[in-house]
Amino acid sequence: MSWSPVADSPLPVRPWQTAVYEQLARQARDESLPQGLILSGPERSAASRFAGALARLLICLDPGTTGPCGQCRSCQLNQAGNHPDYLVVEPDSEERPTIKVDQIRELSAGLTLASQYGGRRVAVIELADWLTIQAANSLLKTLEEPPARVIIVLVAASPERLTATVRSRCRRLTLPLPAIDAAEAWLEMHGRRDAATLLALAGGCPERSITFADEGLADYAPSLAGDILQLLQGRTSAPSLAARWAGTRLATLAFLNEQLLADCLRAKAGGSAAVRLPANDDLVALVTTLPWRVLYEYRDELTALRRAMEQPLNEALTLERLFLGWSRIVGATLSNTG
């Protein structure tokens, strides 16, 4: 990928996404773009932002090689935030994210209308992995016979949760991550301190690093590996850790725990640990002595917990469960060595 790590992109997308964006722009000019796209990325906000940029490009009546013209009637309406040919569907509740069949029926009916300005019509479905089965079946009908010059973009963090029939009607696009040194330079250019630590915690994703930085993660996260180590050594308990970490955003905490465990698994497989937190080396040294089976089981449980956290739940109980898992993998080992 050809971009300088110190210059920001002239395109309306992140520098490391320009190759994907330019390819889509070329296909839009040739009218060879598939009418159904599934867009996923390392972080939802990144994929969502890219989908918005893509929609503005596709609706522009006179796009150039580096993006929408910014001058045409379509671009002006987009800047005002109310283009009738740019439709967005999203869950009506952040608390319980589902997209219902009525929302998809309304969208499909809207897409059969003629374009208001003679260009394309673009629908972006946010959190598309939360389509109900009925909604997915309803969407499938539109994807099978889409109206002319309609593009439907599904933004999905976990595309494998979409039905196989919907997936088969769409081209899948995964946004890339930048190289670590380029990502560090980009974060520093945007005034973020501790870029290396943030990126290690965020799995190399700059957008997630920014979210973490805004949550003050660089200040509080460093004690996490030490806390878990104390728990594994029997010097603290899951309920006390749950109380200590109450108030932290659950999704962030679950993600960090997954990162720490993934790091331990990498080290156990002979790779090098990537997370650089105080006490991380001691944690890795201890956890790598545990059997693969219990580590894999706990990894699956952490993944399930993170997903459950996307639904409303009892926060205190979930926090405790999160830390109890670590206790259990040590318990399972003590009672069943080998």
Q: Does 75 participate in binding Zn ion (rule CB under 5 A)? A: yes
Q: Does 77 bind Zn ion (CB under 5 A)?
A: no
- 63 and 57 in contact (C-beta within 8 Å)? yes
Give me the least distance between CB of 19 and Zn ion, in Å please. Answer: 22
> Quick one: which segment of 57-65, 186-194, 263-271, 317-325 binds Zn ion (CB under 5 A)?
57-65
Q: Residue 61 or 185: which CB sits closer to Zn ion?
A: 61
User: Which of these segments, 67-75, 190-198, 294-302, 317-325, binds Zn ion (CB under 5 A)?
Assistant: 67-75
CB nearer to Zn ion: pick between 75 and 309: 75
Looking at beta carbons only, is 42 or 67 nearer to Zn ion? 67
- 53 binds Zn ion per the rule CB under 5 A: no
Q: Which of 7, 69, 246, 317 binds Zn ion (CB under 5 A)?
A: 69
68 lies in the binding site for Zn ion (CB under 5 A): yes
Q: Residue 28 or 308: which CB sits closer to Zn ion?
A: 28
Query: Would you say 40 or 74 has its CB closer to Zn ion?
Result: 74
Looking at the Cβ atoms of 68 and 206, the one nearer to Zn ion is 68
28 binds Zn ion (CB under 5 A): no
By CB under 5 A, residue 60 contacts Zn ion: yes
The 3-state secondary structure of the chain, one letter per residue: CCCCCCCCCCCCCCHHHHHHHHHHHHHHHCCCCCCEEEEECCCHHHHHHHHHHHHHHHHCCCCECCECCCCCHHHHHHHHCCCCCEEEECCCCCCCCCECHHHHHHHHHHHCCCCCCCCCEEEEECCHHHECHHHHHHHHHHHHCCCCCEEEEEECCCHHHCCHHHHHCCEEEECCCCCHHHHHHHHHHCCCCCHHHHHHHCCCCHHHHHHHHHCCHHHHCCHHHHHHHHHHCCCCCHHHHHHHHCCCCHHHHHHHHHHHHHHHHHHHCCCCCCCCCCCHHHHHHHHCCCCHHHHHHHHHHHHHHHHHCCCCCCHHHHHHHHHHHHHHHHHHHHHCCC
Instruction: Please say which residue, 72 or 332, places its beta carbon nearer to Zn ion.
Output: 72
CB of 56 to Zn ion, least distance (A): 8
Minimum Å distance from CB 26 to Zn ion? 17
Q: Which amino acid is at 314?
A: N
Residue pair 61/119 in contact by the 8 Å Cβ criterion: yes
Total of residues contacting Zn ion (CB under 5 A): 5
> Applying CB under 5 A, does 12 fall inside the site for Zn ion?
no
Considering the rule CB under 5 A, would residue 118 count as an interface residue with Zn ion? no
Nearest distance, CB of residue 78 and Zn ion, angstroms:
8
Instruction: Based on the shown chain and the rule CB under 5 A, indicate whether residue 79 belongs to the binding site for Zn ion.
Output: no
- Of 189, 188, 253, the C-alpha closest to 227 is 253
Closer Cβ to Zn ion, 60 or 210, answer by number: 60
Among positions 28, 72, 88, 332, the unique one binding Zn ion when judged by CB under 5 A: 72
Residues that bind Zn ion (CB under 5 A): 60, 68-69, 72, 75
